[in-house]
Amino acid sequence: MTNWILGEKFSETYPHLSGVKALWETKWKFPCSRSVYPFHHGKYEDFEPIFQRLIEDNVNDAYTDRYTEYFLPTARRLVDEAMSAQGSDRKKAIELYERAACVFRISRFPSVDGDETGFKREVFNEQCQVYLRGASLWDTPLKEVVIPHTAAAGQDRKEIPLFVRVPNGASAAAKCPVVLLLTGLDGHRPDNTGRSDEFLSRGWASVIAEIPGTADCPAERRDPKSPDRLWTSVLDWIKSQPFFDASHVVVWGLSAGGYYAIRVAHTHHDQLIGAIGQGAGSHHFLGREWLSRVDYHEYPFTLSHAYVKKYGYRDWEELLDKAQNDFSLVNSGLLNGPSCRLLLVNGTWDGLMPIEDSMLLMNYGKPKEGRFYEKMLHMGYPPANECVYPWMESVMTSK
């Protein structure tokens, strides 16, 4: 057995996994009361009654439609209130739309599969519509842009939906740097208002894209090279936009998206000025030993089911047999090639993506940069952003 830096916690079953009551009381109640991940822009008073009803009715499986249904009356009431406020109080309407979008987000947890056509997909589509309605009211709006997947091959679909936000005043004469934000397993395009606000405050555009096997991403999930084609199409589109400074593009991959940030830092190194892999996997995260305990750590619900859907395997056992060989960045040979500047950020007690996967990259190719937060969980939250934004600023201001 590997001597994981996670130590004895590797073999533990975390207390929130005993049911929705434990999840709420030991893991989600505190961040919800402070509107932090995954409750950004949500309100405690929206969620507390919902979770009390879930607890009373003993609804513990978030993969079911029944779980999702508990959230929808609250989400739709907030939408109605937002629409009523829109004509007289724009600020209030924006807040209500954001709250509604957050409730929709928690309702469609853990994730929305890229080919899914069921109830959670419908709810995700509703979330996107509500989010975009609110985002259209911002002083600097965010919009959905659907671009052609010009490099599509195999089973890739032919269009790429993006969320794009461009600073006011950006033009061919005053081009703006771009952050290409790669979302995660459960956080999709409508879940990144805070980050797009941060980019905007620095004069950067946001281009937000989902990763293979999730939400609206068109890339073939079972083809390890499909993300390379995906980012070719997206980066070519960025380069074609007259108001984007294509010489200053940074990729930031979140959680499962961190894997793709590391990959694109190598495959498209000459088109990027930097990349960040936060909470990223690279090799061990898809190994049988690590995956044997991944359902028992800090993810809110069972993770294995979402993984099978994301990677497109027949079942969990096939994923255990094949995933590391298929998707390991070490096995791919890419890590020995050139890369752009690459920052790796995570907590040393990450139970979803082992810190060893970030450390491993230091043994390959061009020197990497890293900031690992002692005894912090997945993504290195809450302190991780204290290093990410200053690093991005330094990269964006370089020539």
Q: H or E stretch including 252?
A: strand 244-254
State residue 395's pLDDT score. Answer: 95
State residue 358's pLDDT score. Answer: 97
Rounded Cα gap, residues 164 and 301, in angstroms: 30
pLDDT in tens, 156-190: 999 999 999 999 988 888 999 999 999 999 999 99
Q: Is 173 found in the same domain as 97?
A: no
State residue 398's pLDDT score. Answer: 80
Residues taking part in catalysis = 255, 350, 378
Break the chain down into helix, strand, coil percent, rounded to 5: 50, 15, 40
Determine, yes or no, domain membership for 7: no
The CATH number assigned to the domain holding 62 equals 1.20.1440
CB 150 within 8 A of CB 133: no
Determine, yes or no, domain membership for 199: yes
Q: Is 308 found in the same domain as 298?
A: yes
Burial 225-237 (b: 16+ CB within 10 A, else e): ebbbbbbbbbbeb
Determine, yes or no, domain membership for 5: no
Determine, yes or no, domain membership for 94: yes
State residue 24's pLDDT score. Answer: 97
The residue range of the domain holding 91 is 16-137
pLDDT in tens, 70-115: 999 999 999 999 999 999 999 999 999 999 999 999 999 887 775 5
Please count the other Cβ atoms lying within 10 Å of the Cβ belonging to residue 167.
18
Q: Is 210 found in the same domain as 121?
A: no
Determine, yes or no, domain membership for 8: no
Determine, yes or no, domain membership for 4: no
Of 86, 106, 137, which marks where a domain is finished? 137
Burial (CB count <10 Å: 0-12, 13-18, 19+), residue 295: middle
State residue 114's pLDDT score. Answer: 57
Q: Is 340 found in the same domain as 228?
A: yes
Rounded Cα gap, residues 239 and 245, in angstroms: 8
Rounded Cα gap, residues 263 and 398, in angstroms: 22
Q: Is 179 found in the same domain as 87?
A: no
Q: Is 209 found in the same domain as 123?
A: no
The CATH number assigned to the domain holding 389 equals 3.40.50.1820
Name the stretches of the chain with pLDDT < 70: 114-117, 399
Those residues whose C-beta lies under 8 Å from the C-beta of residue 125, and which sit 6 or more positions away, are none
Is the bond preceding residue 31 a cis peptide, omega within 30 degrees?
no
Of 137, 160, 191, which marks where a domain is finished? 137
Determine, yes or no, domain membership for 155: yes
- Angle between helix 72-85 and 90-107 (nearest 10): 160
Rounded Cα gap, residues 215 and 284, in angstroms: 25
Q: Is 350 found in the same domain as 263?
A: yes
Of 86, 110, 137, which marks where a domain is finished? 137
The helix/strand/coil state of 257 is helix
Q: Is 128 found in the same domain as 208?
A: no
Its sign, for the CA torsion 215, 306, 124, 301, is negative
State residue 382's pLDDT score. Answer: 85
- Alpha-helical runs (H) found in 26-85: 29-33, 44-56, 65-69, 72-85
What's the maximum distance between 2 C-alpha atoms anywhere in the chain? 63
Q: Is 212 found in the same domain as 118?
A: no
Q: Is 223 found in the same domain as 81?
A: no
Q: Is 339 found in the same domain as 259?
A: yes
Question: What is the domain count for the chain?
Answer: 2
* Residue 137 main-chain phi, psi, to 5 deg: -90, -10
Q: Is 131 found in the same domain as 151?
A: no
State residue 290's pLDDT score. Answer: 97
